[in-house]
């Protein structure tokens, strides 16, 4: 083991020791720092100033109680989180996740990833994340409103458009953002539009924000294929999930001439050999809030596979757009064996380390989430620009800016991978490119 490798291993062991039981955070840290050896050899000052160790320690971690009353009048208690991970490049920026699985380790994993995702966009954004173990599924609008108001009653004191700017994530959509902003406005007596992103375009939100993560993932996949002299036209695709990211990834894939044959939710998979009807998925998920199994009510020629995996369905392009660690080594081997040529991650860390290893050892083009799904936060930054300038951009202009940003992200990853001796390896390219952006700012600011 070289001196650089030993130093990196020591840093990781310290992270595990200081953050016990937070397996997702450990996984995210290891995935990044294992690729940074070449950067440390080229820039010994990063090691001397302990930049990696400092990046792995959040600047602030906030945990708070969220009491609220359900429709029966019973008091419920949840836990709220906000972790500001790194603000070297700008105010903390990252979503809020409302899901029963949320605990500090999940929030730190997401916040750590967000630092690098935000850096690689080239926008002036730091990285953070937040959320709660509250589950909005099955709750009435009134219950969701009361929870959001209680949550913001504590969170408001920690955020602001030049300090920390939350957005949505799993379980936090336009409804929740509206309730959160309403309470923030009520408490602070300020119409500070830029304090939250993902808002409705009717009151300060950016057009394309809803579509941005899914569209951006497809744009990244398109650029990976272009680099290989190929395109999405006519390709057979599968997309995991059927939430916001998956829906708009499917939409953009269809616009670019691809055929999507499968999508999913947490209960099972819909396989429609003739092609998924997106209007039906939107009706089920965005309006009726029903399960994907109900797709077959409208399309009896489709097949619903209870507990199935989209990765078992032969395809050329696969987009994991659901949640972390949904695609393991076995699923990755199945995709490769079935002729998959590209994977672009629409979710955060959806592929396990074993799955990533399979992809990197094959000839498949693999776009990691910190690069491929950065379109959401990039468009959040565009929303912040519009709020700051009191401006209102068209859908076409905002989408063009998104496309330009995703093309730039791909170029940065592609060129950095080649510079450090790993051409075509977007994991190394994304990690080192993003790390350098953050590290240079941290060096400039001194030991803080």
Bridge partner residues of 56 (DSSP): none
Q: How many CB atoms lie within 10 A of CB 292?
A: 22
8 A C-beta contact, residue 294 and residue 260: no
* N- to C-terminal Cα separation, the chain: 31
Using DSSP bridges, classify how beta strands 75-86 and 317-320 pair: parallel, antiparallel or unpaired.
unpaired
Distance, in Å, from the CA atom of 219 to the CA atom of 17, rounded to the nearest integer, reads 39
Strands 236-240 and 317-320 turn out to be parallel
Q: Are 197 and 167 in contact (CB under 8 A)?
A: yes
**Catalytic residue from among 50, 108, 129, 199:** 129
Whether the Cβ atoms of residue 117 and residue 412 lie closer than 8 Å to each other: no
What does the chain come to in residues?
A: 448
Instruction: Consult the annotation and say whether 213 binds a ligand.
Output: yes
Is 50 part of any known ligand binding site?
no
Please return the burial class of 212, using the count of CB atoms within 10 Å of its CB with bins 0-12, 13-18 and 19+: buried
- The answer to the question of whether 236 is labelled as a binding residue is no
Give the Cα separation of 262 and 238 in Å (integer). Answer: 5
What's the longest Cα–Cα distance across the chain? Answer: 63
Whether residue 117 is annotated as binding a ligand: the answer is yes
Q: Is there a binding annotation on residue 369?
A: no
Instruction: Round to whole Å and give the CA distance between 275 and 341.
Output: 19
The answer on whether 35 is annotated among ligand-binding residues is: no
Residues with Cβ < 8 Å from 38, sequence gap 6 or more?
420, 421, 428, 432
Instruction: Tell me: is residue 425 an annotated ligand-binding position.
Output: no
Q: Specify whether 129 is catalytic.
A: yes
Rounded CA separation 116/33 (Å): 12
**Residues forming a β-bridge with 218:** none
Q: Which residues are annotated as a binding site?
A: 93, 114, 117, 168, 213, 244, 380
- Active site (catalytic) residues: 129
Q: Which residues are annotated as a binding site for substrate?
A: 93, 114, 117, 168, 380
Q: Which residues are annotated as a binding site for NAD(+)?
A: 213, 244
């Amino acid at each position: 083991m070289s001196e650089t490798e030993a130093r990196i291993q020591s840093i990781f062991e310290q992270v595990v020791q200081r953050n016990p039981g937070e397996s997702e955070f450990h996984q995210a840290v290891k995935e990044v720092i294992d690729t940074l050896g070449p950067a440390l050899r080229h820039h010994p000052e990063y090691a001397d100033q302990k930049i990696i160790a400092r990046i792995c320690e959040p600047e602030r971690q906030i945990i708070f109680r969220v009491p609220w009353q359900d429709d029966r009048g019973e008091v419920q208690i949840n836990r709220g989180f906000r972790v500001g991970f790194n603000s070297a490049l700008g105010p903390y920026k990252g979503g809020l996740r409302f899901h029963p699985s949320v605990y500090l380790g999940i929030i730190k994993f997401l916040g750590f990833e967000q630092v690098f995702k935000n850096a690689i966009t080239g926008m002036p954004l730091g990285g953070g994340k937040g959320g709660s173990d509250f589950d909005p599924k099955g709750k009435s609008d009134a219950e969701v409103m009361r929870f959001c108001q209680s949550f913001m009653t504590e969170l408001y004191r920690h955020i602001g458009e030049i300090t920390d700017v939350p957005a949505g994530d799993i379980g936090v959509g336009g409804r929740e953002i509206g309730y959160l902003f309403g309470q923030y406005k009520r408490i602070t007596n300020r119409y500070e539009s830029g304090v939250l992103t993902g808002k409705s375009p009717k009151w300060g939100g950016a057009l394309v924000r809803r579509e941005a993560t899914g569209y951006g993932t497809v744009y990244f996949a398109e650029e990976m294929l272009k680099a290989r002299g190929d395109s999405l036209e006519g390709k057979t695709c599968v997309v995991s999930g059927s939430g916001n990211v998956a829906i708009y990834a499917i939409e953009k894939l269809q616009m670019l001439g691809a055929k999507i044959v499968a999508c999913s939710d947490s209960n099972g998979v819909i396989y429609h050999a003739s092609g998924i009807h997106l209007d039906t998925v939107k009706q089920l998920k965005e309006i009726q809030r029903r399960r994907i199994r109900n797709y077959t009510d409208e399309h009896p020629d489709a097949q619903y596979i209870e507990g199935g995996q989209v990765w078992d369905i032969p395809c050329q392009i696969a987009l994991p757009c659901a949640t972390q660690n949904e695609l393991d080594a076995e699923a990755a081997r199945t995709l490769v064996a079935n002729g998959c040529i590209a994977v672009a991650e629409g979710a955060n860390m959806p592929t396990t380390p074993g799955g990533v290893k399979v992809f990197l050892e094959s000839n498949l083009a693999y776009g990691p989430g910190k690069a491929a799904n950065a379109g959401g936060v990039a468009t959040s930054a565009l929303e912040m620009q519009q709020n700051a300038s009191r401006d209102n951009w068209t859908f076409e202009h905002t989408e063009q800016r998104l496309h330009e940003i995703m093309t730039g992200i791909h170029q940065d990853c592609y060129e950095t991978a080649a510079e450090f001796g790993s051409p075509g390896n977007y994991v190394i390219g994304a990690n080192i490119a993003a790390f350098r952006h953050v590290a240079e700012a941290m060096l400039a600011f001194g030991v803080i």
